[in-house]
Amino acid sequence: MASDFWSDNRKAQALMQQLNSLREEVTTWEGIAAQLTDLQGLAQLLEEEPDEEMQAEVAQSLQPIEAQIEKLQFALMLSGEHDERDAIVSIHAGSGGVDAQDWAEMLLRMYLRWAEQHRFKTEIFDYSEGEEAGIKSVTVEITGRYAYGYLRSEAGTHRLIRLSPFDAAHRRQTSFAKVEVIPDVESSIDIVIRPEDIEVDTYRATGAGGQHVNKTDSAVRMRHIPSGIVVTCQNERSQIQNREVALKLLKARLYEQEIKKQEAETARLKGEHISPDFGAQIRTVTVHPYSIVKDHRTNHETGNTDGYLSGDVDPFIYAYLQEQAGGVEISE
């Protein structure tokens, strides 16, 4: 290890995290290889001395291994420039009033549970709660190898259809929330932000209580004057740390803006038409009058709405990846 390795603590931590992820991946494949070797030995014995009960056990033992290999194979499709990076996910309540704010909070909880299942780390950078229930918006960083590659499939408008718990008449309500997903590109993209191009305001953090509330003006709102982009961070940390995080978010959004400009110019030169992605839902969750979750891009669906809202998003992510790769449909 180089003597100056820890001189840049953030970069060093990122490299150590990548190293640990690679070690974990190697360990996983080595474990699979060891299991297959053991099963191959049993299979050879069963050829010499057939035993139906033992054959059934061997076949049953292969099922979780096949499922694990199938899951690892999906990582091979994540070959985009930033697929391997961490993800910055923002959720905004759309039309639907209080129900939409509640729906935004449900999505936050779903993605936090999904991240936990994948052993990804999460950190909430900004949290704006609703007046009556739910949240108006939230920004959370999800840290783990391929976090962005998986979660980029979730960007778009999500719709919820249910009987409103906030309506005295308990009428059916349709709510919308927008999910934005961008890669954490701070360490790889040279985005120059001049100090004179930034306006910084500080204010007292507000939120759901506990860790989201601060008694000092530690929250930071940062505005990039040339682009008009505004980012905020009001975590339970010092103002200096919040400035660092806000600058990181601003850098990511400026990068996203540059990528969109390049894509728009490429499409213009090719004569392609770019359709706006606002207002068209990518996925609908219906809990009344029946239970179903359907992705409108891949037509993948499930009747297990409870499982989906508890973080079981992988089948939809995999279906999207296969659709992008021209693969076959996934079975649950």
Task: Give the closest residue to 118 by CA, choosing from 166, 184, 72.
Answer: 72
Domain of residue 131, residue span? 87-184+282-325
Q: Is residue 81 part of a domain?
A: no
End-of-domain residue from the set 75, 109, 125: 75
Give the torsion sign (CA, 59, 61, 67, 71): negative
How far is the C-alpha of 112 from the C-alpha of 138, rounded, in Å?
12
Residue 189, in any domain of the structure = no
Does a structural domain hold residue 80? no
Note whether 124 and 201 are same-domain residues.
Answer: no
CATH number of the structural domain spanning residue 99: 3.30.70.1660
Q: Kindly report the CA angle at 89 between 121 and 266, in degrees rounded to 5?
A: 130
Overall pTM surpassing 0.75 (yes/no): no
Phi and psi of 155, rounded to 5°? -70, 130
Rg (CA), the chain: 23
Helices (H), the chain: 9-48, 52-75, 97-117, 147-151, 239-270, 305-309, 314-325
- Which residue reads 């600058």 in tokens? 247
Taking alpha carbons only, the member of 189, 264, 182 closest to residue 229 is: 182
Clarify whether residues 105 and 223 are in a common domain: no
Judge whether 330 lies within some domain. no
| Residue 261 belongs to some domain of the structure | yes
Residue type for position 24: E
CATH code: domain of residue 244: 3.30.160.20
Domain endpoint, select from 15, 49, 75: 75
Is 248 found in the same domain as 120? no
Do 101 and 178 lie in one domain? The reply is yes
Q: How many domains does the chain have?
A: 3
What are the tokens at 163? 């009987």
180 in the same domain as 199: no
Residue 208 shares a structural domain with residue 125: no
pLDDT in tens, the chain (332 residues): 666 677 666 667 767 777 776 787 788 888 888 888 888 888 888 777 787 777 777 778 888 888 778 777 766 778 777 888 899 999 999 988 999 999 999 999 999 999 999 999 999 988 999 888 999 999 999 998 889 999 999 999 999 999 999 888 888 999 999 999 988 876 555 677 888 999 998 887 765 544 445 566 788 899 999 989 999 998 756 888 888 888 889 988 888 888 777 667 545 644 543 333 345 799 999 998 899 999 999 999 999 999 999 999 999 999 998 888 775 444 44
Please indicate, yes or no, whether residues 101 and 174 belong to a single structural domain of this protein. Answer: yes
Residue reference for tokens 């910084």: 200
Residue 136 lies in a domain: yes
In this structure, the strands spanning 156-163 and 281-286 are: parallel
Domain boundary among 270, 293, 311: 270
